[in-house]
Amino acid sequence: MENIIEENKNEEVGDFSGNYIEKFQDKNAEEFFSGPLVSWEKQGDAFLFHGQLASLEIRVIAADILKFRHGIDGYFEDDFSYAIDPTFKSEQTNYKLEDQKTAFVIKTDILKCYINKSSLQTKILNLEGTVVLEDEKGFHWQDHKHYGGNISICTRVLHQDEKFYGLGDKTGKLNLIGTKRELWGTDCYGYGNDKDPVYKNIPFYMGQHSQIGYGIFMDNTFRSFFDFGKERKTVCSYWAQGGEMRYYYIHGPKLIDVVRKYAELTGKPQLPPKWALGYHQSKWSYYPESVVRKLGDEFRSRQIPCDVIHLDIDYMDEFRCFTWDDKKFPNPKQMISDLKDQGFKTVVIIDPGIKVDKNYSVYQEGMAGDHFCKRMDGDLLKASVWPGLCHFPDFTQKKTREWWATLFDGLVEDGVDGVWNDMNEPATFEDGTFPNDVRHDFDGHPGSHRKGHNVYGSLMAQSTWAGQKQFMKNKRPFTISRSAYAGIQKHASVWTGDNIASWEHLKIANIQCQRLAASGISFAGSDVGGFIGSPDGELYTRWIQMAVFHPFFRTHSSGDHGDKEPWKFDQKYVDIVRRFIEMRYELMPYVYSVFQHHSETGIPMIRSLHLEGHIDPETFYREEEFFLGDHIMICPVSEPGKSSRKMYLTSGQWYNYWTDQLIDGGLEIKVETPLDQIPIFIRQGAIIPRQPKMQYVDEFVFETLTLECYKPATSTSSSVYEDGGDGYDYLASTGYVKKLLNSSIEDTNWIISQEIEGEFESTYQSYEIKLHGLQQLPTQIVVDNEDLTSNTNFDAGVASIIINKNFKQLIIKT
């Protein structure tokens, strides 16, 4: 099947797969340009500059965000987007237009954008005069000889020492410089590190040079390409094989600010149910019911924490979506209820292919409601996936998304807690995906599959999310999607697809999750241990150790390649794996707080070193070290047999999690990595909340939350967020509480203060304060003017004391 896919792909792009080749051989490669300015006008909040052959529209979205659209022959498409958050509103900001001799200049409080009158080429500078983005050829286009329409192109000057990041789940090096990448969602079973394209289509990248970061979001769903100096080393370019050239310029100057603003544009996720942040176990496939029940019993008897069991396609009646195989699962409702009693949630897979079967109710409804995709001449699309010949919903049609959402009533009634969308690139067995002549409604902007392909998976996930929300009453939906377009984070988590049990893929998974987070999608993970093949105990252990710090934490495997339950390995590995999964649950208050901060601000949960280091050149090419939240840095072990490894600590000082040793940052260090440890460092001054180990989220009510407090050098802020863990009560102040914790040094005193926002009542009554970084027992500890020194314990350099959860100020005198 792979060869067929490749052949079709090559045929699709044969008339334009290159970039901006200097010497064109014939008129088929002719390029067209906007030409010199003819006139200009202001329409509402938009400036329009009309050239001889094309027009440029620029809108000031915010002082640091500009929106560009290019209309060929003066024609602009409807300004329609599946990616932009419907609630997003442009900021009220100061800006003005200056008419200079050779150019117009749009000025905001942060940027200056020059529009050249002779060519409509643009250049963006900061107020200090540094050129951040500059057209080389700028916008131009070619006729698409095969399909009609235009291939819309932008070329930019690639600045010296410029770095590039983003584009979603791309393989290869984290820094994209010197590469060319393609966006065309592809079912790429067993993909390698040089495979492109892969599953997701996120046309957003970040550039950085001259200590300034910026982002470009090209909001176009056609097959797209991005070249970061591969064809011409001095040029960065991006283009789409149809549609309008529409893109947003997002100014930093820090890259983490760019990601935050991109999340404002495309949407921030709602909080998931807390259990979704626990450990998930999956396989293709767990069946029949007795196997699923035994799986749950094994986790509980072995005391390996787990919250979620996934059911793959074999739970269905001959792979018919929204059905159960009554021989394998005679009473799914009772099974799911019994699993709930053990603390397990159940997630089931749903694919887009609907079996052609006149006796199948979903097929009947789809036909009656005209919900299935059609070919160019009006015939229904038929293609094979797991059930055999199928029709496929047109998720670009609103009525179809609404219909699809209604289909989840039965699964929710059975007690299903979440839904996993697979094969939604969309993938088929014959040609890899739909033929290009398939028609899509595109919410009243009809087009072919060339236009609808890259957004298909996101719209399926959106409808799946809506269906769960509709029937789950006051519960939060949980959706997973394999394919995606920009903005998927509003509706689904993702995973990195059908990977391989290899050390190379452990490292690929690490980089992909960092890249996804930098592309707005923090709720991401990989198939731990590899979907294809069988890892040995060491590889599985090292993968678990990394994935503990990924927001989506799931082992998944192809059953015909061996089992990957944690107890399938030698006991020494089982014990280490158990301990690290327990660590995930102990750190759940931190993980949940980090997710809440992400959902509120758009700041990624997972952060590459370049997002934190910004102007530190040592971070520009680092790939394996990453942050979870503000305060924890991790560096996985990605090679076998390693008892130590090198890693880079960003500026500041860091406590070794295992030894409490305080180490200067801004340096490469060597860290010991015995099998039961990976490098974990805590930022100086951090306060990390920690709960008792549990077998599943909120297994029991505990009396005391531990706050691991690391002695600061200056003032450092941390927070602990809590709510009911599900439902929407947190949207009111009575439904959540956020504890803002400030840690500082004043003279020789270490002071920790707490401010409480919200009215939700924590179930625990006290904190155990653990003070790291002390050389000796404090001379005095005062809590809200009460001397509690006599209640303090001191062991191995860590002082501990139990205090009331509502304390306001803690003074540690040394």
User: Where does residue 758 rank: exposed (0-12), middle (13-18), buried (19+ CB within 10 A)?
Assistant: middle
Whole-angstrom distance between the N-terminal and C-terminal Cα of the chain?
Answer: 69
Residues 256, 259: Cα–Cα separation, whole Å:
5
CB within 8 Å of 504: residues ≥ 6 apart: 192, 193
Residues 245, 157: Cα–Cα separation, whole Å:
18
SS3 assignment, position 611: helix
Q: Are 244 and 276 in contact (CB under 8 A)?
A: no
Annotation says 425 is catalytic: yes
CB within 8 Å of 674: residues ≥ 6 apart: 643
Question: Bridge partners of 47?
Answer: 42, 58
| Residues, the chain | 814
Cβ neighbours around 667 below 10 Å, total: 13
Name the phi and psi angles at 119, rounded to 5. Answer: -145, -10
Give me 301's structure tokens: 């008897």
Percent helix, strand and coil across the chain, each rounded to 5? Answer: 25, 35, 45
Q: Are 305 and 695 in contact (CB under 8 A)?
A: yes
SS3 assignment, position 29: helix
**Nearest one of 667, 693, 663 to 680, comparing CA atoms:** 663
CB within 8 Å of 187: residues ≥ 6 apart: 199, 423, 425, 427, 432, 433, 498
How do beta strands 606-608 and 163-166 pair?
unpaired
Indicate which residue of 422, 624, 722, 726 is catalytic.
422
- Bond before 273 cis per omega within 30 degrees: no
**Nearest one of 540, 378, 368, 523 to 461, comparing CA atoms:** 523
**Nearest one of 522, 484, 575 to 269, comparing CA atoms:** 522
Residues 411, 417: Cα–Cα separation, whole Å:
9
Give me 578's structure tokens: 């158990």
Indicate which residue of 187, 425, 565, 723 is catalytic.
425
Strand stretches in 81-203, DSSP E: 95-99, 103-108, 111-116, 122-126, 131-143, 150-157, 163-166, 180-183, 200-201
Annotation says 422 is catalytic: yes
At CB < 8 A and 24+ separation, what contacts does 76-83 make? 76/244, 77/243, 77/244, 77/445, 78/445, 79/246, 80/442, 80/443, 80/445, 81/219, 81/246, 82/221, 82/455, 82/458, 82/459, 82/485, 82/487, 83/217, 83/219, 83/265, 83/266, 83/485, 83/486, 83/487
Residues 754, 737: Cα–Cα separation, whole Å:
12
Rama region for 442: left / alpha / beta (φ>0; ψ in -120 to 50; rest): left
Q: Are 240 and 144 in contact (CB under 8 A)?
A: no
Q: Are 512 and 505 in contact (CB under 8 A)?
A: no
Indicate which residue of 351, 498, 527, 722 is catalytic.
498
The string over 500-530, giving b where at least 16 C-beta atoms fall within 10 Å of a residue's C-beta and e elsewhere, is bbbbebbbbbbbbbbbbbbbbbbbbbbbbbb
SS3 assignment, position 155: strand
SS3 assignment, position 579: helix
Annotation says 498 is catalytic: yes
Q: What are the counts of helices (DSSP H) followed by strands (DSSP E) for the chain?
A: 13, 53
Residues with a known catalytic role = 422, 425, 498
